[in-house]
Structure 1
Amino acid sequence: MDTPRVILAIVLSLAVLVGWNFLFPPAPRTPVAPENQTAAQPPQSSPEASALQAPAASSALQPAFTAAGKRLTVETPRYRAVINTAGGILESFTLKHYTTTIAPDAPPIDLISQTSLAKAPLGLLWDLTPTWTGAWQVQGGDLTLDTTQSGSIQLSTRLGDLEVVRILRFQGDSYAIQEEVRLTNQGKAQAKGQLSTTLASTGLSAPDDKYNRTQIAYLANALTQEGDPKDLQAGITSEQPVRWGGIESNYFLMAAVPTSGDMLLRAKLEDGIYRVALADALIVDPGVSQVRTLTYYLGPKTEADLAAMPGGLSQAIHYGFFDVIAKPLKRFLVFLAAHTGGNYGVAIIILTVIIKILFWPLSHKSYKSMDQMRRIQPLMAKIREKYADDREKMNAEIMQLYKTYKVNPAGGCLPMLLQIPVFFALYQALLGAIELRHAPFIPHLPGTDIVWLADLSAKDPLYITPLVMGATMFLQQRMTPSAADPTQAKIMMAMPVIFTFLFLSFPSGLVVYWLVNNVLSIFQQWLLTRSAKPAN
């Protein structure tokens, strides 16, 4: 095995994997994210909008939601919700503990924007016919709940011979909204149709955020996440009943969890709005009632809150291929932060040091093997030159050289390969952890009032950390045994420039991790260089 080539391949692979989202961001979207909006107000006009349907269905126009009913307010320690009694449409859902920016006077996030309100979030449809256009009666009023209280609102209407009753239940210590829908056939003929509940959002992340995209997610046999605008504009449908489905970003989630019946999911990006509908086909005989129950979740993607939800909603927190490694690392990071005054920057540094210590023997073996390979490079070059026309003989002589000097050609790359899963797991965990959103490390540049690392989920506004990180990578390259091939050596030396360019827009928490890891690697290489002995 040619170790320099393997190392080069690994480094290039890291560059491609880390830089892919930067070089090939998703297609730009026009919707305004809720983080850039104030509390939503009902639309002043009533434009036509198509009801969410399966992709193969025709685009039958249906009236958009209009604010015809009374507004009821549900106030809890976690959120403030505004429910319109015309169909139970959710007009506003403000998260009290999450603000739009890090500014002291920043307003709290409202998951419902004025634009998405036109698509009737939390609306009910019967056989693709909106129910919110009818006359609704209400039982209950405004609710103010503390963490020990719960309350409910009941809404009812008639669709011909079909009586529709919605009961929405709220809890003061949860982001969940429980719903019971009861359909009673008071006529003489059998009623058949699809009962659908809808979610709508103009996006749960900024449109230009390459590392935090809004996407549709649902869980059937496996978790499916779709963020490609072209696919969503065409529409997607689950092939099997879902355990839950919704709209998500790295940090926030709007989801519906069926707790009775078998509901299929349909989703679409329409007029700049992400729309999700969960539908169940029902047959209601005369004099009979059919009941369906769901639980909605509108809030942050925090492990404790999602774990309390039914339907495996906790799986909405997923960190990619190395999820099984990423989640324990994130939990340990949260544990460290709890013991460092809540400073996640310090926690990232401590976690990086611990990981480096655990992998110290492997890294040491890798550096030592690379140094041994460097020492026999002149002899390998002579063998290649001598047997240039006899590849079989050349390989045999090189293998003999390895045996003579007791060099393992795979010794430099295998320890590095073992560390890559941990690296990418931590990379994904830091990228997706809501705990890092608006989490400060060094809020101001020391000795000044200049805002610096005040939000570990945002890029370094002064670009200090990525530039220092690039310098440490350059120093590492200077300390690492160079490849025999001049072309390979030049490519390796170009890596610091490439990575610095990529890291300029990276969330600063990721840059801090990589910077600290580089510093520790430099220290380890320096120790190895000091203790190195001449080859026999």
Structure 2
Amino acid sequence: MDNKRLLLAVSLSMLVLFAWQFFFAPEQPVQQPAEKAQVARKAAPMSDGEAPAAATSQDFVPTEGRTVTVDTPLYTAKFNSQGGVLESFVLKHYKETIQPDSPNVDIVGDQSVVKGPMGIILTRKGSEVHTWLKGQWAFEGSDLNIETGKQALVFSGQVGDFRLERRLTFDAATYLIEEDLTVTNQGATGVEASVSFTAAAKAMSSEKDSYNPTRIAWYNDAGREEVKDREDIAKGEATAGDLLQWAAIHSNYFMFAIVPGENNAVMYSGVQNDIFRLAVEEPTTLQSNVSKTVKASYFVGPCERAMLKTMPGNLKTVVDFGWFDILARPLLTALNFLYGYVHNYGIAIILLTLGIKIVFWPLSQKSYESMERMKKLQPMITKLREKYGDDKQKLQQETMTLYKTYKVNPAGGCVPMLVQIPVFFGLYKALMAGIELRHAPFIQHLPFTDWVWLADLSAKDPLYITPIVMGATMVLQQLMTPSTGDKMQRYMMLAMPVVFTIMFLNFASGLVVYWLMNNLLSIGQQWLMIAKNKKKEA
């Protein structure tokens, strides 16, 4: 085996690994229908820890429904007073597109309102379902304008024999909404029941966006799991229980999550007409003439990792970089550190690439030195092939003897490259899932034109300039690399830039900038190595 063959194998392996990981990787295991039933059976009623409280005897007086607005420095949320259902949740610091007149991101969307985002479902065991739609509701408060601290809205309702009071508490500094739902059973007997807290949101990304799918995810005693395929979600396969800590509808950048107040909750989800739905159900026992409070929290907003670290229910685990999490997070930290000085993520990526190249410079140097030594052995290897062409075993033995004689490791040029592959994938995940890169500009317009160019590092290059130039640098690298006498291998190696160029056409431009810069630095290092060898020979 010669160095070129190893290099080819490594390159192809990298391509296959990449394609499998990001296009064909199997979903995390999800519970099947039989398991769902088992989860529901496991959800034991929560204990009655609250003290009995006599139900109020005064008649409930509903009020006319209206929109109630909550305005904070981070968002503007609108609720319908008929049940406290969320009508819209507009983020003040995030736009839908990079266009100047783009509207701000609304997590809910107009079409999702009918699905009851932040609605309440009260189910009597073995009986009908009482939802926010079937009750009568009253609201006596006013709109909230929260600059600092916390404030609350209270919605009161009567649904059958049950009196409901929803207290929603908002924090000006976060996207977290805490709910205290007090249910009073005014019936003559106690009942086994369940309370479901709901979420509904429009798709947060295009159905065709395989890099940034809208998904259903959750975290329980088995760890973090998710379902990305919409058909699987529509079939009800995204279901979980077993010490559920949180459940969420989310994309790479935004989320609508529910954190149950108890650890015996069960999560159900679905998708229809581009609307994702989620319900977290908590079982409970409602004694006659006793008030009981059930708690939950909602996080509706961007996937800001720093804020999520301070949230309840281990919400920080919503942001997941997969296998390369251990590399992606420190790389993002380094990128943000550099951004703090240069205030441009494109420049920060270039500086980070330079830093990575410096770290791996000794390994790359050994790789180039190994390839140069292999180059000098090529005439001898060619003669061995001519002599033992029909005896593969003998050819292998003589080739290995030749390597030992001249102290050449045929894998020496490839091992350093293998070490760098995980860093590439870690940076890929960081650039694809880091909300910092969303709509982050590098070069707003192509120089000397009005054409929008690298105005969003999380999106592909609209002019395809960077991936094409990147492909050209790969061709130049191949031409600078010592070649073997095997024409087929040489042709395959020259085909690699074409394959990678096509693959990178739709990648985030931030990643292409990294790869292009890495290629340019590698070419410079290789040129220095060639010049050094020529000087030695002279």
Residue 123 of structure 1 is matched in structure 2 by: 119
Whether 1:259 aligns to 2:255 is no
TM-score (norm 1): 0.88
What residue identity is the alignment partner of 2:112?
A: S
What SS does structure 2 have at the residue aligned with 1:237? coil
How far residue 134 of structure 1 moved from its aligned partner, in angstroms, is 1.0
Distance 1:211 1:25, change over 3 A: farther
How far residue 354 of structure 1 moved from its aligned partner, in angstroms, is 0.1
Deviations 1:61-99 (A, max 9, x none): xxxxxx982210000111000011111110000001111
CA distance in 2, matches of 1:278, 1:115: 21
1:402-481 paired onto structure 2 within 5 Å: 402-481=403-482
Residue 179 of structure 1 is matched in structure 2 by: 179
Residue 73 of structure 2 is matched in structure 1 by: 77
Greater displacement, 418-427 / 370-379: 370-379
Greater displacement, 402-411 / 132-141: 132-141
Task: Confirm or deny: 8 A CA contact 2:468 2:501 kept in the other structure.
Answer: yes
Greater displacement, 485-494 / 444-453: 444-453
1:126-145 paired onto structure 2 within 5 Å: 126-127=122-123, 128-145=129-146
Distance 1:389 1:496, change over 3 A: closer
CA distance in 2, matches of 1:233, 1:365: 53
How far residue 391 of structure 1 moved from its aligned partner, in angstroms, is 4.3
1:482-521 paired onto structure 2 within 5 Å: 482-521=483-522
How far residue 56 of structure 1 moved from its aligned partner, in angstroms, is 7.3
Say how many residue pairs are matched. 497
Greater displacement, 511-520 / 226-235: 226-235
CA distance in 2, matches of 1:156, 1:435: 40
Greater displacement, 302-311 / 517-526: 302-311
CA distance in 2, matches of 1:238, 1:2: 51
Residue 188 of structure 1 is matched in structure 2 by: 188
Alignment root-mean-square deviation, CA: 2.3
Task: Confirm or deny: 8 A CA contact 1:440 1:455 kept in the other structure.
Answer: yes
What SS does structure 2 have at the residue aligned with 1:528? helix
Residue 50 of structure 1 is matched in structure 2 by: none
Residue 344 of structure 1 is matched in structure 2 by: 345
CA distance in 2, matches of 1:367, 1:140: 73
Residue 152 of structure 2 is matched in structure 1 by: 152
Greater displacement, 243-252 / 228-237: 228-237
Whether 1:109 aligns to 2:105 is yes
CA distance in 1, matches of 2:12, 2:64: 59
Task: Confirm or deny: 8 A CA contact 1:72 1:83 kept in the other structure.
Answer: yes
What SS does structure 1 have at the residue aligned with 2:68? strand
What residue identity is the alignment partner of 2:79?
A: I
Residue 271 of structure 2 is matched in structure 1 by: 269
CA distance in 2, matches of 1:104, 1:511: 25
What SS does structure 2 have at the residue aligned with 1:308? coil
What SS does structure 1 have at the residue aligned with 2:211? coil
CA distance in 2, matches of 1:21, 1:387: 41
Among 246, 250, 272, the alignment partner of 1:248 is 250
Identity percentage of aligned residues: 48
How far residue 316 of structure 1 moved from its aligned partner, in angstroms, is 1.2
How far residue 211 of structure 1 moved from its aligned partner, in angstroms, is 1.8
Task: Confirm or deny: 8 A CA contact 1:21 1:210 kept in the other structure.
Answer: no
Task: Confirm or deny: 8 A CA contact 2:440 2:456 kept in the other structure.
Answer: yes
What SS does structure 1 have at the residue aligned with 2:194? strand
What residue identity is the alignment partner of 1:278?
A: V
Residue 60 of structure 2 is matched in structure 1 by: none
Task: Confirm or deny: 8 A CA contact 1:25 1:210 kept in the other structure.
Answer: no
Task: Confirm or deny: 8 A CA contact 2:339 2:348 kept in the other structure.
Answer: yes
Greater displacement, 458-467 / 471-480: 458-467
Among 311, 323, 326, the alignment partner of 2:325 is 323
What SS does structure 2 have at the residue aligned with 1:118? helix
How far residue 145 of structure 1 moved from its aligned partner, in angstroms, is 0.7
Deviations 1:110-162 (A, max 9, x none): 1111221121111111124423331112242200011x232101112223222
Q: Which runs of 5+ in 1 are unaligned?
A: 27-53, 58-66
What residue identity is the alignment partner of 1:259?
A: G
Residue 47 of structure 2 is matched in structure 1 by: none
CA distance in 1, matches of 2:324, 2:455: 28
CA distance in 2, matches of 1:251, 1:215: 12
